[in-house]
Amino acid sequence: VAVYSKPVSHAFVIKADKVDKFLAQKADPKIMEMHRKRAALILKDDDRRADQ
Protein backbone atom coordinates (compact mmCIF):
# COMPACT_ATOMS: atom_id res chain seq x y z
CA VAL A 1 0.00 0.00 0.00
CA ALA A 2 1.45 3.33 -1.01
CA VAL A 3 1.13 6.11 1.51
CA TYR A 4 0.55 9.30 -0.40
CA SER A 5 0.68 12.64 1.30
CA LYS A 6 1.44 16.02 -0.19
CA PRO A 7 3.80 17.96 2.08
CA VAL A 8 2.45 21.37 1.15
CA SER A 9 0.46 22.43 4.20
CA HIS A 10 3.02 25.06 5.10
CA ALA A 11 2.56 26.61 1.67
CA PHE A 12 -0.93 27.84 2.42
CA VAL A 13 -0.21 30.18 5.31
CA ILE A 14 -0.53 33.33 3.23
CA LYS A 15 -2.86 33.45 0.29
CA ALA A 16 -3.62 35.94 -2.43
CA ASP A 17 -6.00 35.84 -5.34
CA LYS A 18 -3.40 35.07 -7.99
CA VAL A 19 -1.59 32.49 -5.96
CA ASP A 20 -4.89 30.93 -4.89
CA LYS A 21 -5.85 30.69 -8.53
CA PHE A 22 -2.55 29.01 -9.30
CA LEU A 23 -2.86 26.57 -6.43
CA ALA A 24 -6.31 25.60 -7.68
CA GLN A 25 -5.15 25.26 -11.27
CA LYS A 26 -5.75 21.85 -12.77
CA ALA A 27 -4.03 20.16 -15.65
CA ASP A 28 -5.66 20.56 -19.04
CA PRO A 29 -7.34 17.16 -19.53
CA LYS A 30 -6.86 17.32 -23.30
CA ILE A 31 -3.14 17.91 -22.90
CA MET A 32 -2.76 15.13 -20.37
CA GLU A 33 -4.72 12.71 -22.53
CA MET A 34 -2.52 13.57 -25.50
CA HIS A 35 0.58 12.78 -23.43
CA ARG A 36 -0.91 9.53 -22.13
CA LYS A 37 -1.74 8.30 -25.62
CA ARG A 38 1.66 9.18 -27.01
CA ALA A 39 3.50 7.60 -24.08
CA ALA A 40 1.44 4.43 -24.46
CA LEU A 41 2.68 4.06 -28.03
CA ILE A 42 6.28 4.10 -26.82
CA LEU A 43 5.96 2.22 -23.53
CA LYS A 44 4.33 -0.87 -24.98
CA ASP A 45 5.84 -3.63 -22.91
CA ASP A 46 6.18 -2.33 -19.41
CA ASP A 47 8.98 0.13 -20.06
CA ARG A 48 10.86 -2.22 -22.33
CA ARG A 49 12.40 0.71 -24.14
CA ALA A 50 13.23 2.90 -21.20
CA ASP A 51 16.12 1.83 -19.06
CA GLN A 52 17.13 3.81 -16.06
Q: Which residues bind other proteins (CB under 8 A)?
A: 2, 4-8, 10-16, 18-19, 22-23, 25-29, 31-32, 34-43, 49-52
Q: CA triplet 41, 31, 12: central angle to 5 degrees?
A: 125
Residue/partner pairs of 4-13 with CB below 8 Å, 24 or more apart: none
Distance CA 33, CA 49 (A): 21
CB of 7 to other proteins, least distance (A): 6
Q: Considering beta carbons, is residue 36 or 45 the nearer one to other proteins?
A: 36
CB of 30 to other proteins, least distance (A): 9
